[in-house]
Structures are given as structure tokens and as C-alpha cells.
Copies of this chain bind each other. A is one copy, B any other.
């Protein structure tokens, strides 16, 4: 059997079943595992399949859309600070938004963590990394914000208990606390806070001092505030009274 033939066969199998196991292939094709591995590696190099531990997957299934992210630099700084709160074996509740997603990208891979989320994009991002378990709390999905909302979700949230919650926010003010303009998000965020031992709010400094229509939580209901500014920055002093600024 020629190499190319083998690879055609593999591609066909993947297109048909969306996945193949190295072990299966190596008995079917009667070659060593190394050869199969090399074939898969090569096909993956050409972008024809997606190589994973133990076999390969169809790459047509998992193309995720990623656009430009606003204020990437600042968000990277925030991410680094947030990650310092993570510890082995933690249950971490995460929300949505690009800031949170940046954090997820740089979480140390050697920690074993369990993430709980209601957000589709966050869940998808987390699935790219091994070592994490991902629990998605279901419910009716809000089109605009792409996360689960509604009574089901709130009830599901009530049933869990996380060690830490990483919450992005659209508006934060020393007096008014955090707020949002979307009613459904607010309900979910309140429930997330309630289900978490500690809460860290992450936001770029740009949003400091803004208030939106619906109230989520006062500052003293939160444990950490994380921005890209150094903790000593004057813009943060008002917040430092009611929670720890990182």
C-alpha cells in the first residue's frame, strides 16, 4: 500500500466519521503506529485534519471565529494578574467578554482547574486546553450576548458553588458598584456572584466611573478589582476602600 493511498483512506474515514483513532487505523492499514502517526502529523500539517492525542478529528467542525480584540495589551496585563489568584484544583466560575477570554488564554496549563460557565465562547476557548474540565450551565441562550440566561440558568447556578468568580463588567463605579444595561445579564451575574466564594471583577480602566441602568452589586460585595493600572494609581484609590485592588 502506497503512502498516498493510506492518507486518502484516512481522510475518507475522517470525513465520514469525523474522527479516527490511531490504533484502529494501524490495524486496518496493517502498518505500525508510528507510520499512522506520521501520516496524521503530515495531514495535520497541511491543515486537512486536526491531530489530537490518540487520533485525529475533522477540522471542519471546529473552526472558531476570532476577530480583533480591543485593547489587547491592557487585557493581557489584567489577565496576568487574574491568573495569580488561581490555584490547583479550584472551581472557577467565568463569565464572558473579551477581557475574560484573554485571561483564559494565558491560564497556566499545568494547573488542574474546573471551570464553570454559562458562556459559549468561553467554554469553546477552554476546550482548546487539556487539563481543564469544563462545565457548561445550560438554559435559554441569549442571542446578543451568547450566553445562557433565564430561570433554568439561574437555578442551575444556585446548585453549584465555585471558589472564585472572574467577572467582566461593562460599568463600574466606586459608589454605584458594578452595573449593566442588559437585564438578563444582570440576573445571571447576580447568581454567579452568589454562587462563588470570592469574586474578582476584571475591567480596563476606561470603564472606571461609569454606571449603567441595572445594578448588579456594590463594591463591598466584591473581593478583588483587577485593572491594567498599578494598584497605587490614584484612579483606583476610591475602590481600594471596599475591596482589594490588584
Contact = CB atoms under 8 A, between A and B. Distances in A.
Interface of A: 2-5, 8, 11, 15-19, 21, 48, 50, 52-55, 57-58, 60-62, 65, 68-71, 96-98, 118, 120-121, 123-124, 127, 130, 133-141, 143-144, 146, 148, 152, 156, 170-171, 181-182, 206-207, 212
Contacts of A137: 138
Nearest to A58: B98
A146 B15 CA distance: 17
Contact of A61 (B58, B98, B135, B140): B98
A182 B71 CA distance: 41
Contacts of A18: 97-98, 170
Interface of A is mostly: mixed
A206 B14 CA distance: 13
A124 B146 contact: yes
A16 B61 contact: no
Contacts of A140: 133-136
A98 to B, nearest CB: 6
Nearest to A118: B138
Given A127-B143, A134-B141, A60 B68 contact: yes
Contact of A136 (B21, B58, B141, B170): B141
Given A98-B60, A146-B62, A2 B15 contact: no
Nearest to A131: B143
A127 B98 contact: no
25 contacts: A2-B54, A2-B57, A4-B52, A4-B57, A8-B62, A15-B70, A16-B206, A17-B170, A18-B97, A18-B98, A18-B170, A19-B182, A57-B144, A61-B97, A61-B98, A61-B121, A61-B146, A120-B120, A120-B136, A135-B140, A136-B138, A137-B138, A138-B139, A138-B148, A138-B156
Among A19, A127, A133, A138, the most chain B Cβ lie within 10 Å of the Cβ of: A138
